[in-house]
Chains A and B, each alone.
Chain A
């Protein structure tokens, strides 16, 4: 059973629908006892970092998330879920979960491509250059694109954590992986077949880092 963490951060049903389509049993819940029993945890979310952290602290899920990562349960962060596993987010100047060393930064206002100022948020389909060899990103073609919508991007303190890079005026970290933890800035549940392949890979992954 895949546990999808419900912390009132946006619409989580799209993640559940993608898992249903893949015939992976899942449950959306904020109950840590149920999530304790789950084989895998998906930590999604859209919205603002400040409100998300407030909800996580209030429900005590912050402590459980740290515990699940420490215990070695496979955990997949998506979008805002990915951002709040870092130490700090520039959005609302928010101290976050501190699971991954590093900060979440806002795209600079003056990023350009072909002499034209780039719009923020970074919204739409873009490529991800994945680090080779991680089981969750196995079999994803180089030409695959993923759906992004965000104004802030993760910046791990240690390059070692970066498992995928994307270019939007700057080259930023679009995927993080270490041990049992994988986190992506894009939305695999809304990225067509390559996105579904990542979710399917994650559900079949035992949480052991390939490197």
Chain B
């Protein structure tokens, strides 16, 4: 049976690793290539890079990071942030990433999902969803709203509707980020994760709020997530990936223990 995946997320700005709280106040904390290598050695099942660079120069630095990572780590990794066209996807994939993740771009231009899936296969396309709780609004039956531009812009789009629509368009996986929980280290948004995961037939990666191993246990069991994204709890060396996996394995969640 499949193991639940533990996925460190590396935010990269102009080639440097950063970590923010609720998408603000990013500080530089190191070299992404070294960090990726360390997480690979520690038993990460996959790695996510999120490029928060805006400049063209920063983008080519990122492609260089992707190339270096691909030479030294032999697990899947994805790259997201600023991917607007199939050509942007191609550059990242040819540099060595398995998957590309689209977020704001997909909300503004849903066709990019179908075009990307046609060009590279659904398994390459990850839909990044930034979601905010917004109950009691008739236009949002699930009570959750899609937000874009790193959480700054509300869209009026229902999160559950969008997840199913993106699945129909050919996305292979969903990375579901709760803006309310992101960076708080108080636990994942369990209700949101279960809602989305139980209504699509593609894997869902839970994101936002991980601070302790029991948060992962909760989202991988009650939340029905297929994988869990982690950041602060490993970047600041509070826990190792092996410690988190052992904790989960001891409590009956199958994880990959041999690497």
* Chain A interface (Cβ < 8 Å from any Cβ of B): 10-11, 13-14, 17-18, 20-21, 46-48, 113, 116-117, 119-126, 141, 143-145, 147, 149, 167-168, 187, 189-196
Q: Which residue of A lies closest to B4 (CB)?
A: A124
Contact A190 B203 (CB under 8 A): no
B123 & A13 in contact (Cβ 8 Å cutoff): no
Residues of B within 8 A of A120 (CB): 201
Say which one of B93-101, B144-152, B179-187 lies at the interface with A.
Answer: B93-101
**Given A149-B123, A194-B258 in contact, is the A21-B5 Cβ separation under 8 Å?**
no
CA distance in complex: A159, B226 (Å): 32
Number of interface residues of B (CB under 8 A): 33
Select one of A121, A141, A190 contacting B76, CB under 8 A. A190
- Spot the interface stretch: B30-38, B66-74, B231-239: B66-74
What are 19 of the A-B contact pairs (CB < 8 Å)? A10-B120, A11-B93, A17-B70, A17-B96, A20-B71, A21-B72, A21-B74, A47-B121, A113-B1, A123-B226, A143-B258, A144-B258, A145-B3, A145-B256, A145-B258, A147-B75, A167-B1, A189-B74, A192-B74
CB neighbours (8 Å) of B71 from chain A are 17, 20-21
Q: State whether A10 touches B258 (Cβ < 8 A).
A: no
The chain B residues found within 8 Å of chain A, CB to CB, are 1-3, 5, 40, 45, 70-72, 74-76, 93-94, 96, 98, 120-124, 172-173, 201-203, 224, 226-227, 256-259
Contacting residue for B121 out of A48, A126, A193, CB 8 A: A48
Chain A facing B: main interface SS: mixed
How many A-B Cβ pairs are below 8 Å? 92
Check if A124 sits within 8 Å of B5, measured CB to CB: yes
Task: Tell me whether B203 and A119 are in contact (CB under 8 A).
Answer: yes
| Other A-B pairs, 7, CB within 8 Å; known A119-B226, A189-B74 | A119-B202, A119-B203, A123-B123, A123-B203, A124-B3, A125-B3, A149-B172
Within 8 Å CB of A195, what residues of B? 74
- Nearest-CB residue, chain B, relative to A126: B2
A123/B121 in contact, CB under 8 A: no
Q: Are B256 and A11 in contact (CB under 8 A)?
A: no
| Bound-state Cα–Cα, A168 to B71, Å | 31
